[in-house]
Each structure stands twice: as C-alpha cells, then as structure tokens.
Amino acid sequence: MKRFVLVMMAALIGMPSAVLAHAHLIRSTPQDGSEISASIDAMVLYFTEALEQRLINVALSRDDKAVSGLSQPVLSGNRRTVNVSLPHLSAGLHTVSWSVVSIDGHRTEGKFKFLYRGP
C-alpha cells in the first residue's frame, strides 16, 4: 500500500499543471473598478486556460438590472480570449458576471464592476 501511495504521488507531481488547472480571469477590458467616460461597444475577457465555446456565459447588469442586447460570447483563436459586443450603455455602475468551462472540464465563475459615466 505504501508503494502504491508513493507511485501515485510521483504520478501526480509529474502531471502537467494544465491538466489540473482552472480557467481564471487574468484581465478584462474594461478593467475591474475602472471609470469610463468614452463610448464603449465591446468587452474583452482574458483567461489563463483554453475554454469550451458552448459553455461561456457573460451577463451585464446596470444598477442591479439586467442589460439586454449583448452579443453571444465569441472565443478567439487561442481559445483564451472572449469578446462580447455591447449595446449602447447608459451611465451607471455596471456588473459583469461570467462563467466558463475550461477544455479540461473545470467550471469557474466571477464578477467585476466598472463605472460608465457616458460620453
């Protein structure tokens, strides 16, 4: 039994980290906590791992009310960048809620906020 445990530990240590990884948001445009005065027509979310296109969800709310008219999320060629076209935004505090599934099957989710002051 002791030998089995040692073999399993060695196997896990030798596994590539991507196999055990989750897709985490590393940055976004707009950025979390930013204040924007210029017109904004798209959001871009950058992740640490490749994603499953059909399992990407991005929602936007302003002052706790859903914003409609977002495009379907579009995954870039590297499968780590998500683009979402936006409708005309009204001024206010916006919250982006996202959930994704990486290609290894792990689901992650999160939120970030930005203040849109309008053009």
What confidence category does residue 4 fall into, taking pLDDT thresholds of 50, 70 and 90? Answer: very low
pLDDT score of 97 more than 70: yes
Which residue spans within the chain are E strands per DSSP? Answer: 25-29, 35-36, 42-47, 57-62, 65-66, 74-75, 81-85, 92-101, 107-116
Predicted confidence (pLDDT) per residue in 7-61, tens digit: 444 444 444 444 457 899 999 999 999 999 999 999 999 999 999 999 999 999 9
Q: What is the pTM of this model?
A: 0.80
What confidence category does residue 2 fall into, taking pLDDT thresholds of 50, 70 and 90? Answer: low
Residue 8: strand, helix, or coil: helix
Q: What is the mean pLDDT of the chain?
A: 87
